[in-house]
Amino acid sequence: MTPSTVVVGVDSSTQSTKAAFTDAATGRLLALGRAPHRVTGGAGARESDPEEWWRALGEAVAAGLREAGVPASAVAGIAVAGQQHGLVVLDGHGRPLRPALLWNDTRAAPQAAALAGALGGPAAWAARTGSVPVASMTAAKWQWLREHEPYAAESAAAVRLPHDFLTERLAGVAATDPGDASGTCWYSTATGAYDTEILGLVGLDESLLPPVAPTGATRVGSLTRAAAERLGLPAGIAVAAGTGDNMAAAVGLGLGGAGLLDHPVLGLGTSGTVFAATRTRPASAALAGFASADGGYLPLACTLNCTLAVDKVAALLGLDRDDAAPGGEAVLLPYLDGERTPDLPAASGVLTGLRHDTTPRQLLGAAYEGAAVTVLRALDEVVRACGLDPADPAVASRPLRLVGGGARGRTWVETVRRLSGRPLLIPAAGELVALGAAALAAGAASGRDAVEVAGEWGTGNGRLVPPVERDRATWYRVTSVIDGLVAGGSPG
């Protein structure tokens, strides 16, 4: 049956753009258009040309429209979910002055450390913004730009996040949402507005920033004629404020803050993320106390090194990614790009515990274990920040929602299962960020709550994997190595 109303959810991630054409009534994924974009840089630098994102968005929408087999006139709304934290600086004509600094660009670590020590220190930052500056955060990147490329900073007529840039291209108006704005470290989750003292500290005029819409599903404008012609969609359809990728994934799962115990999520992608939806505002220096896209909060911790780092180890060993065995005595921390949680931006990979009988398969298994323990420790921080004890059986026995590309990998699933001791819920839907964005688009087009829409769609439903006894020996072995790095401030 051809749907009467279709919405488009765009997932503009680090390396590609996806456009999910979705039946607004049922949530059925009709088509998924894709287009790649490039990431350049080395020695801590990670950059992309925002114009490539815009090109990729057009290609992904065109491909999705062809595949969906629906008339363009059926499309009622569009929303963008983008990679968080990226810094986009524009000239007076809305064109990028330089490539965007991406979330995983670690060059701003010195600027982040200096900012974290200001305004009363980390605890004060967490109380004001929900987060402490680290190299990933936009405020640190802006400081880096001011110090290393002052001409670009002084010439900026507008400062945007990646999803803001694309939303503005669609609707012709500047807008962001509380979720993505909360990843900048210049937006206060305590007040729901930009923090003027922090903007003064980093020398950023608030007039360069987009207004903050109440939620990611807020209709901020209509698709312009120029954008409509480029995308092949009807002019005038609803454009939502959109949000960051993690916030959109939460919407796609139907998470709206009913309570932490029902909502722990572990995302296995290029980065590893853990988050929970809650109505209680967290303020912990150990994690990012983000806002959510629906007016609540999304405490989140992120590790830089996850599936991509483990795949690199597999390639170095000449093994298939699933040709792994438990690591035995070996510990391998695949901190190939520095690390964010724990905050070790200069770290490199660590290998210890080798024996004559250690096999290549065990080394690969040790890489999985190092990445999994790192992200599960981050989950414990999220639980603590919400006032709960991760060792409490009532907390530890709740299903852990496993999402991202790694959730489709047998070794990832078994490693997380073994090291967490939790049951795992693996949603059947594989494009939760794009589907969350589609729910935001549906909310903008209809005026409904986006989380409620996604809940009716059932995109968070899936397969339940029963728990196994927790491998505490491996947990403590890996944890001791991580704790040693943190205590010594070692670069790895």
Q: For the chain, how many residues are written? A: 492
Preceding amide of 282 cis, omega within 30: no
Average pLDDT taken over every residue of the chain: 93
83 is in an annotated binding site: no
pLDDT at 337: 86
pLDDT at 259: 47
C-beta contacts of 32-37 below 8 A and 24+ residues apart:
32/64, 32/67, 32/431, 32/434, 33/59, 33/60, 33/61, 33/62, 33/63, 33/64, 33/65, 33/66, 33/67, 34/60, 34/63, 35/59, 35/60, 35/63
pLDDT at 261: 46
Contacts of 462 (CB under 8 A, 6+ apart): 425, 426, 427, 428, 429
The residues annotated as belonging to the active site are 245
pLDDT at 347: 92
Digits of tens for pLDDT over the chain (492 positions)? 567 899 999 999 999 999 999 999 999 999 999 999 999 998 899 999 999 999 999 999 999 999 999 999 999 999 999 999 999 999 999 999 999 999 989 999 999 999 999 999 999 999 999 999 999 999 999 999 999 999 999 999 999 999 999 999 999 999 999 999 999 999 999 999 999 999 999 999 999 999 999 999 999 999 999 999 999 999 999 999 999 998 999 999 998 754 444 568 999 988 899 998 888 888 778 788 999 999 889 998 889 899 999 999 999 999 999 999 999 999 999 999 888 888 888 899 999 999 999 999 999 999 999 999 999 999 998 888 777 888 888 888 889 999 988 999 999 999 999 999 999 999 988 899 999 999 999 999 999 999 999 999 999 899 999 999 999 999 999 999 999 999 886 555
Question: What angle, 0 to 180 degrees and rounded to 10, lies between the N-to-C axes of helices 472-488 and 360-385?
Answer: 70
Tell which residue, 127, 154, 153, 123, has the closest CA to residue 138.
153
85 is in an annotated binding site: yes
For residue range 393-408, list pLDDT tens digits in order.
888 888 999 998 899 9
Retrieve residue 111's tokens: 């600027």
pLDDT at 28: 95
For residue range 114-133, list pLDDT tens digits in order.
999 999 999 999 999 999 99
- Model pTM greater than 0.75? yes
Task: Kindly list the structural domains of the chain, giving each domain's residue range(s) and its CATH number in brackets, ordered by start.
Answer: 6-246 (3.30.420.40)
